[in-house]
């Protein structure tokens, strides 16, 4: 089979021929139809992600496809089932073997491209805003990187939870996407001062930040007393350093969020969250924003869209039409 593999952190990954895997006990083999790309794929390729696998490995954290084979001790799934899986790696391939406990069965009407764009982006935002920040109706939510893969979902979910959503993104096109997702107020990070604008709106109760860098620092200074800040990632390339004495002045809380980590110690939180999100999807309350769907031989182009921050929403690689 073909797989998009990293063989060295100093060499660009590429499509390789490799053996089709067989499922171990507790695993399923999935014929992969679509794989969502994530900023973490870029970090893995460089060897700087917190969960970078040993070399060589296949990129691709989240997939949608059809169960091709089940290993021993697999219950509740059968050959032919349509599933989405967060495997953490192995998704940019024609087939993959994954822990069956990480698979969720898909609604019949859910396209594979939607399913491949769904788990990490919506799962991260729902867990962050609901479980970590305890976002309340009427609170003000500031979303940085609001047109990105996770940012747009934070805008959607924040509105569903009853918050007033302030979306920050770079340029008119990205702000239009955030507005379409339900944002109440828009900030152009190219031309507007985040701190001044947010404070003029009354300040932020919750900050959702997949960007880091100076935007985090500006948002930090625009927080209300007892605000909660959610570091999601560092797309800017700069990890902000937080002075703990500054937290004391306004009684602020900084709540780290690593969605995949919950699969190791509290998988029930992830499972319950995904059930809620799939119910919302079937009810038409959320709709994945897939900005680009590319064929398997254009994976490198898709990753470049993330690296250059030119995409809005999710970029999905489609293996099967």
Question: The CATH number of 121-259 is which of 3.20.20.80, 3.40.50.720, 2.60.40.10, 3.40.50.300?
Answer: 3.40.50.720
Span 151-167, average pLDDT = 97
Which pLDDT value is given to residue 119?
A: 92
Question: Smallest Cα–Cα separation from 120: which of 184, 42, 39?
Answer: 39
Block residue for tokens 């995409």: 311
Is the pLDDT confidence value at 321 over 80? no
**Is pLDDT above 80 for 200?**
yes
Identify the pLDDT of residue 174.
Answer: 94
How confident is the model over 119-148, as pLDDT tens digits? 999 999 999 999 999 999 999 999 999 998
Q: Does pLDDT of 313 surpass 90? A: no
Domain ranges in the chain with CATH number 3.40.50.720: 121-259
What's the pLDDT at 267?
Answer: 85
Q: 3-class DSSP state for residue 97?
A: strand
pLDDT of residue 216: 96
Residues 6 or more apart in contact with residue 201 via CB below 8 angstroms: 140, 166, 185
Mean pLDDT over 266-292 rounds to: 91
Query: What is the mean pLDDT of the segment spanning 166-189?
Result: 96
Q: Which of 313, 315, 311, 314 is nearest to 298 (CA)?
A: 315
* DSSP at 170: S
Kindly list the distances between the CA atom of residue 315 and the CA atoms of 57, 214, 225, 306, in Å, as whole numbers in the listed order.
21, 26, 37, 8
Q: How far apart are CA 316 and CA 321, in angstroms?
A: 12
pLDDT tens digits, 73-97: 999 999 999 999 999 999 999 999 9
The percent of residues above 90 in pLDDT, for the chain, comes to 88
The HSE-up count of residue 46 (CA atoms within 13 Å, CB side) is 10
Q: What is the DSSP string of 45-97?
A: HHT-STTPPPSSEE--SEEEEEEEEE-TT--S--TT-EEEEE-SS--SBSEEE
Say if strands 253-254 and 185-188 run parallel, antiparallel, or are unpaired: unpaired
pLDDT digits over 257-278, tens only? Answer: 999 889 888 988 998 899 899 9
Specify the pairing of strand 223-231 against strand 14-17.
Answer: unpaired
CB-based contacts of 28, cutoff 8 Å, min separation 6: 67, 68, 69, 70, 71, 74, 77, 83, 85, 97, 98, 100, 103
Question: What is the CATH code for 2-118+288-318?
Answer: 3.90.180.10
Q: How many residues can be counted in the chain?
A: 321
Question: Which regions of the chain carry the CATH code 3.90.180.10?
Answer: 2-118+288-318
């Amino acid at each position: 089979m073909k797989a998009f593999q990293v063989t060295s952190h100093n060499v660009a990954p590429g499509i390789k021929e490799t053996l089709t895997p067989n499922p171990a006990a507790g695993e399923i083999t999935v014929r992969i139809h679509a794989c969502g790309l994530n900023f973490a794929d870029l970090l893995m390729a460089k060897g700087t992600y917190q969960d970078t696998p040993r070399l060589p490995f296949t990129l691709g954290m989240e997939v949608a496809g059809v169960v091709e084979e089940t290993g021993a001790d697999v219950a509740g799934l059968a050959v032919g089932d349509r599933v989405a899986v967060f495997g953490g790696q192995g998704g940019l391939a024609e087939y993959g073997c994954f822990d069956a406990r990480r698979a969720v069965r898909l609604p019949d009407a859910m396209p594979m491209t939607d399913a491949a764009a769904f788990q990490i982006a919506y799962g991260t935002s729902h867990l962050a805003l609901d479980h970590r920040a305890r976002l309340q109706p009427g609170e003000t939510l500031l979303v940085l990187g609001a047109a990105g893969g996770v940012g747009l979902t934070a805008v959607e979910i924040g509105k569903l939870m009853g918050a007033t959503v302030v979306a920050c993104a770079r340029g008119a096109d990205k702000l239009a996407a955030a507005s379409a997702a339900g944002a109440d107020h828009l900030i152009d990070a190219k031309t507007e001062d985040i701190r001044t604008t947010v404070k003029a709106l009354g300040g932020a109760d919750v900050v959702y930040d997949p960007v880091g860098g100076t935007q985090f620092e500006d948002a930090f200074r625009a927080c209300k007393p007892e605000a909660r800040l959610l570091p999601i990632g560092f797309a800017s390339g700069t990890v902000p350093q937080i002075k703990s004495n500054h937290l004391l002045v306004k009684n602020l809380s900084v709540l780290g969020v690593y969605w995949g980590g919950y699969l190791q110690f509290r998988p029930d939180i992830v499972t319950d969250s995904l059930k809620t999100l799939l119910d919302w999807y079937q009810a038409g309350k959320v709709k994945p924003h897939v900005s680009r769907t590319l064929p398997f031989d254009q994976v490198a182009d898709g990753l470049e869209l993330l690296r250059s921050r030119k995409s809005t929403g999710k970029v999905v690689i489609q293996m099967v039409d």
